[in-house]
Structure 1
């Protein structure tokens, strides 16, 4: 009983026990993990701008709604080409001595996962309006707006990045919307989020719990026809919008598009699979390689193309899966 009545011995023992448990339960396993899980050989470190952007990402609470972890379940295929592995996070280090925030994997996915957003959506012309007010590019979005990351001014200085914001989202304010340094740092961080390809010879982990069948309806005497509208919403709508008219000054309209309506659809397939930068001089953003990034199959590409060819007043001839497969082989890089 003398031990329990002696507060010096009691608190010393408790402190030593706590320190010992911390070393063996936390520090030793962490050091072991750090030594065993090195970054992938072709992983690219964050730039100075992206590191500052990560701090903006954390300070604005983005981690509360967005994850950065592609789980090994089939429903996560849309967020990355493979499930995440430990090596994907091995290059993350503490912010400083007092703050950890090394990984921002998140625990809740109210918004889409951002593991590969830099591949899925690299366009500054999309991200900056989306940060100013998400409803500009995604009408149904529940994401809050971040107008404090921008300034509205009548004087545009050399080097200012002007953001294309429709007048109805300015709520009576007049002037040009300029991205602040914080907005550009956050943009650099989002653009840096790319899933690193595994080295040759290392098999990619599988997505589990695969869905049976495909989304679509059976045609008479034939296989299921995929729902092009659902695929369009998943892969294309955030830029080209539900009405196919895009966003003025940022993303071109698919309504009446020569590429969409052309019967020789090889260029159309090339745009979907490899992206497109042919209209940058007109102010439009660079389109990412949606088909390649999302591992779209020929039947999925055909369904998207046929949806675009037959909607919003378009009335072009549909393509077949066999035609698309041939064109995909022709434009493969």
Structure 2
């Protein structure tokens, strides 16, 4: 065939072939998905600050270690209440014809998935400390620190957001650590990452390959399943209050020896878990962990009993029935959002 002896014809044919493949395999399906995928009701477009934070997220290569996709397998229930669907990414559009920054789904989970991090960890204080040096709040973390998102000042100016960095992590520097605008914008973007609830009446996509649960086995045997308070504490509380219950000075209060935890009247403790807390200037704002995570009375009771009997604490345990009543009371007194 003469085409193989004529480089112009050969390269022209190859270019037409790959151009046609690109058109039908990538471009047309992409345009189809963009046309037929609309944002879910309740999805909120990014603010200017959040969009700026998204660009910081991209420029720092966060997508290399963190995904934003909940797959339809049982193990991904940790990252979201349902598998992801196309509509979840409908607001993520290209910035220009040359910039493909539409979705940040990622391909690796060297770090945890961030699809719902705004619900799992809404605390600005925690994110700032974590970005400055992840080992402050998670000693086993392999994530790189991002100190260039912060400044060390002799004195904080009006409006500065101070970061509670322990002296051991200051590397000999003296002063007060404050977040830069880039750092605050990145945190704003992370706080915006929340999985939108599907409209009422819409069936949730199902997780596949479900594992047999111990609770189901216990129920079949006629035994009331006992929840592991230590595991629940690790999943919902440990990131701030630490494994040893000592918290982090200037950021998160200790539970070890806490008057609230040791009090036999647990009304305040349940209210804090369900409604959050913002009454002490020396600590950051605690989010409504129980409400955000949808914790049941059984789960809240297990967490409370773990905290009441750990790290040298020796307080009276609570029952599920007591917690149910206190949760109703906390719901009635919750601040209006």
TM-score (norm 2): 0.89
Change (3 A) 1:258 1:82: farther
TM-fit CA distance, 1:187: 1.2
Q: Does 1:136 align with 2:167?
A: no
Task: Please name the residue that 1:171 is paired with.
Answer: 171
Work out the CA distance in 2 between the residues paired with 1:157 and 1:296.
Answer: 39
Change (3 A) 1:158 1:263: closer
Change (3 A) 1:81 1:327: farther
Work out the CA distance in 2 between the residues paired with 1:260 and 1:204.
Answer: 38
Q: Does 1:286 align with 2:288?
A: no
Work out the CA distance in 2 between the residues paired with 1:209 and 1:226.
Answer: 23
**Deviations, residues 292-321 of structure 1 (Å, cap 9, x unaligned):** 332323222211110001112221111122
CA RMSD of aligned residues (A): 2.3
**Deviations, residues 223-272 of structure 1 (Å, cap 9, x unaligned):** 33222111111111010011212111111111232332333323322322
Task: Please name the residue that 1:303 is paired with.
Answer: 302
Task: Please name the residue that 1:313 is paired with.
Answer: 312
TM-fit CA distance, 1:175: 1.4
Work out the CA distance in 1 between the residues paired with 2:297 and 2:310.
Answer: 20
Work out the CA distance in 1 between the residues paired with 2:207 and 2:17.
Answer: 43
Work out the CA distance in 2 between the residues paired with 1:87 and 1:291.
Answer: 28
Q: Is the 8 A contact 2:79 2:115 kept in 1?
A: yes
Q: How does 1:124-203 map to 2 (within 5 A)?
A: 124-203=124-203
Task: Please name the residue that 1:12 is paired with.
Answer: 12
**Deviations, residues 256-290 of structure 1 (Å, cap 9, x unaligned):** 323323333233223223322333xx132222222
Work out the CA distance in 2 between the residues paired with 1:313 and 1:226.
Answer: 21
Look up the SS of the partner of 2:45 in the other structure.
Answer: coil
Task: Please name the residue that 2:265 is paired with.
Answer: 264
Work out the CA distance in 2 between the residues paired with 1:81 and 1:259.
Answer: 31
Work out the CA distance in 2 between the residues paired with 1:95 and 1:245.
Answer: 45
**Deviations, residues 9-45 of structure 1 (Å, cap 9, x unaligned):** 3333332222222222211111111111111121011
Task: Please name the residue that 1:65 is paired with.
Answer: 65
Work out the CA distance in 2 between the residues paired with 1:303 and 1:320.
Answer: 9
- Worse-matched range after superposition: 267-276 or 304-313: 267-276
Q: Does 1:81 align with 2:81?
A: yes
TM-score (norm 1): 0.90
Work out the CA distance in 1 between the residues paired with 2:210 and 2:186.
Answer: 35
Work out the CA distance in 2 between the residues paired with 1:117 and 1:158.
Answer: 29
Which stretches in structure 1 are left out of the alignment for 5+ residues?
none
Which stretches in structure 2 are left out of the alignment for 5+ residues?
333-337
Work out the CA distance in 1 between the residues paired with 2:206 and 2:295.
Answer: 16
**Deviations, residues 42-71 of structure 1 (Å, cap 9, x unaligned):** 101111111121121122221122111122
Work out the CA distance in 1 between the residues paired with 2:174 and 2:135.
Answer: 19
Work out the CA distance in 2 between the residues paired with 1:30 and 1:72.
Answer: 22
Work out the CA distance in 2 between the residues paired with 1:89 and 1:16.
Answer: 32
Q: Does 1:237 align with 2:238?
A: yes
Task: Please name the residue that 2:211 is paired with.
Answer: 211
Look up the SS of the partner of 1:286 in the other structure.
Answer: coil
Work out the CA distance in 2 between the residues paired with 1:82 and 1:272.
Answer: 24
Work out the CA distance in 1 between the residues paired with 2:309 and 2:110.
Answer: 33
Q: Number of residues paired by the alignment?
A: 328
Change (3 A) 1:182 1:67: same
TM-fit CA distance, 1:183: 1.2
TM-fit CA distance, 1:155: 4.5
